[in-house]
Amino acid sequence: MKLGVSTKRASVVGVALVGVLLAIGFLQGSNATSTDIRGKDHPALFDESSRCPGTKTALRNGIVAEETARLRADRYPYDPRDGVRAVHGYRTASSCYDAAGRPSDAERARFAGQELADRIVTDYAAARLSLANAIQAERWAEVLRRTRHLQLLTSHLGGHEYVEWLKELVGKATARHYDPS
For 41-100, write each residue's pLDDT tens digit. 889 999 877 888 877 899 999 999 999 999 999 999 999 999 999 999 999 999 999 999
pLDDT: which is higher, 5 or 133: 133
For residue 145, which amino acid is it? R
pLDDT of residue 9: 54
For 118-163, write each residue's pLDDT tens digit. 999 999 999 999 999 999 999 999 999 999 999 999 999 888 899 9
List the domain boundaries for the chain.
8-44+51-178
The Cα 69–Cα 73 span in angstroms is: 6
**Over 70: is that where the pLDDT of 20 sits?**
no
pLDDT of residue 135: 94
DSSP secondary structure letter of residue 45: S
Q: What's this model's pTM, rounded to 2 decimal places?
A: 0.75
User: What percent of the chain is helix, strand and coil (3-state, nearest 5)?
Assistant: 75, 0, 25
3-class secondary structure, 76: coil
